């Protein structure tokens, strides 16, 4: 039987930008831009300064930039760690829903570090590596058929990062296979952090990016790694996922580009909560729902929605917990008269008794969808205090490939993120660089600009 790790590696080594269809090429540039801007906003996320402080303690004096931090330079592993943390720290980064993976946070951070330490690399090479990396992490995610036990954006994510580095740096095939072996050795990430609502989730993303750089470095230094990292008795899929079928994912390599299946996050929250936010907004607009007229709002959705964001709102909850609480997020939306945004996660907002009271009238329940990774369809049912009832069916979540953000909506999100991160002035030049990113002779120009560096 063919080693699936070799199939994934060969895809990363052989993929060329001209092989990628137009829709996937456009998506690669769009979500690179989205990830950089979200990462700049993450510069002001809770614990971002503490994460940077920890990374400095592991070693300083490198030449790699940190998003939104013009004067900061770190060695490549530490820079990858901090940047991946910042990109995921506010739950605003894009997601591949069927795989339940946030592929860009780790991959972009890893490529960012490698480009700055060993470049120059062309924009075309970086975009190709990004596409290859997303193909790998998403293929591993969609292969799984059991509910999440481990934090897949980190555990599958590290293989996507290593695949991206393989595509970018083009090592010998045996070195690439060794790097996959070390990716298995370093793979980690628990869902316990999700259950408790801790900032450990973006830390796990950071560690995946950092470990991907280390895995590639060890392989290039000549250390042999396990050869059956994906399918061995204690390989990734048997160990982390249990039941799986990778055959379709392998067959799709080179003809189905997973980057085109990635969804935006219109709001800085867990993706699973965003359908409930949209439903709340639509009920306000179309049925006149207000805090005063709501008796009960029930959001009936596939099992993973309740599992990920069906938690109760409570006094004293952390920002990380609130971002994954659909009831609180929808209550904020209803109370403010517009969807929840970056500025809403304040101590005052978290402790607002009116919002908490409203959140107690909002509930996520499970419908009969048997798909453990489905995010839709879902139905919102609002009962009004006057006895009326309004029903709203969502066939997809806003930001998904079949309900995408417009160019204007994408740019508005980018501008808001850059303002929040203190770099509003880079909005226009960064957008222009991304539009023609494949033509850049040195892709690091865009990364330096997103860091706020004057030498961009």
CATH homologous superfamily of 271-394 equals: 2-methylcitrate dehydratase PrpD (3.30.1330.120)
Pairing of strands 69-74, 294-301: unpaired
Ranges in the chain annotated CATH 3.30.1330.120: 271-394
Instruction: Give the Cβ contact number of residue 61 at 10 Å.
Output: 8
CATH 1.10.4100.10 intervals, the chain: 4-266+411-451
Indicate the fold that domain 4-266+411-451 takes in CATH.
2-methylcitrate dehydratase PrpD (1.10.4100)
Contact 322, 328 (CB under 8 A): yes
Distance of CA 66 to the CA centre of its chain: 18
The answer to whether residues 442 and 430 touch, using CB atoms and an 8 Å cutoff, is no
User: pLDDT by residue for the chain (456 residues), tens digit each?
Assistant: 589 999 999 999 999 999 999 999 999 999 999 999 999 999 999 999 999 999 999 987 899 999 999 999 999 999 999 999 999 999 999 999 999 999 999 999 999 999 999 999 999 999 999 999 999 999 999 999 988 889 999 999 999 999 999 999 999 999 999 999 999 999 999 999 999 989 999 999 999 999 999 999 999 999 999 999 999 999 999 999 989 999 999 999 999 999 999 999 999 999 999 999 999 999 999 999 999 999 999 999 999 999 999 999 999 999 999 999 999 999 999 999 999 999 999 999 999 999 999 999 999 999 999 988 889 999 999 999 999 999 999 999 999 999 999 999 999 999 999 999 999 999 999 999 999 999 999 999 999 999 999 887
**pLDDT at position 1:** 55
What pLDDT score was predicted for residue 148?
87
Sign of CA dihedral 84, 90, 94, 98: positive
pLDDT at res. 214: 98
In whole angstroms, give the CA distance from residue 263 to residue 103: 11
């Amino acid at each position: 039987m063919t080693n699936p790790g070799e199939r994934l590696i060969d895809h990363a080594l052989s993929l060329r930008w001209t092989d990628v269809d137009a829709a996937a090429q456009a998506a690669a540039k769009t979500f690179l831009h989205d990830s950089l801007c979200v990462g700049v906003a993450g510069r002001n996320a809770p614990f971002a300064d503490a994460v940077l402080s920890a990374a400095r303690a592991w070693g300083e004096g490198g030449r790699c930039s940190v998003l939104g931090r013009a004067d900061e330079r770190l060695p490549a592993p530490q820079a990858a760690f901090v940047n991946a943390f910042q990109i995921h720290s506010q739950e605003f980064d894009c997601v591949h829903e069927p795989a339940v993976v946030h592929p860009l946070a780790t991959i972009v951070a890893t490529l960012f570090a490698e480009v700055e330490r060993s470049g120059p690399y062309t924009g075309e090479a970086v975009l190709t590596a990004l596409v290859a990396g997303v193909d790998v992490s998403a293929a591993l995610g969609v292969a799984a058929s059991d509910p999440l036990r481990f934090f897949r954006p980190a555990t599958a994510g590290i293989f996507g990062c290593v695949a991206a580095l393989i595509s970018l740096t083009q090592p010998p095939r045996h070195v690439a296979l060794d790097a996959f072996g070390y990716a298995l050795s370093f793979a980690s990430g628990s869902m316990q952090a999700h259950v408790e609502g801790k900032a450990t989730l973006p830390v796990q993303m950071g560690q995946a990016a950092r470990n991907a750089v280390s895995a590639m470095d060890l392989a290039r230094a000549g250390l042999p790694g396990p050869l059956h990292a994906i399918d061995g008795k204690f390989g990734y899929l048997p160990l982390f996922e249990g039941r799986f079928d990778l055959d379709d994912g392998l067959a799709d390599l080179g003809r189905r580009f997973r980057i085109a299946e990635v969804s935006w996050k219109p709001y800085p929250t867990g993706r699973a909560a965003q359908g409930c936010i949209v439903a709340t907004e639509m009920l306000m607009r179309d049925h006149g729902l207000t805090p005063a007229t709501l008796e009960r709002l029930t959001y009936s959705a596939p099992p993973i929605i309740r599992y990920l964001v069906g938690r109760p709102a409570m006094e004293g909850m952390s920002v990380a917990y609130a971002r994954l609480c659909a009831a609180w997020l929808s209550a904020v939306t209803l109370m403010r008269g517009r969807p929840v945004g970056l500025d809403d996660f304040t101590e005052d907002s978290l402790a607002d008794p009116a919002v908490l009271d409203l959140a107690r009238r909002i509930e996520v329940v499970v419908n009969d969808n048997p798909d453990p990774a489905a995010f839709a369809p879902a139905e919102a049912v609002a009962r009004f205090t006057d006895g009326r009832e309004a029903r709203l069916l969502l066939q997809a979540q806003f930001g998904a490939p079949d309900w995408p953000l417009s160019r204007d909506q994408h740019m508005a999100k980018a501008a808001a993120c850059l303002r929040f991160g203190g770099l509003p002035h880079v909005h226009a030049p960064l957008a222009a660089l991304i539009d023609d990113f494949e033509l850049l002779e040195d892709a690091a120009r865009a990364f330096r600009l997103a860091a706020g560096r004057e030498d961009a």
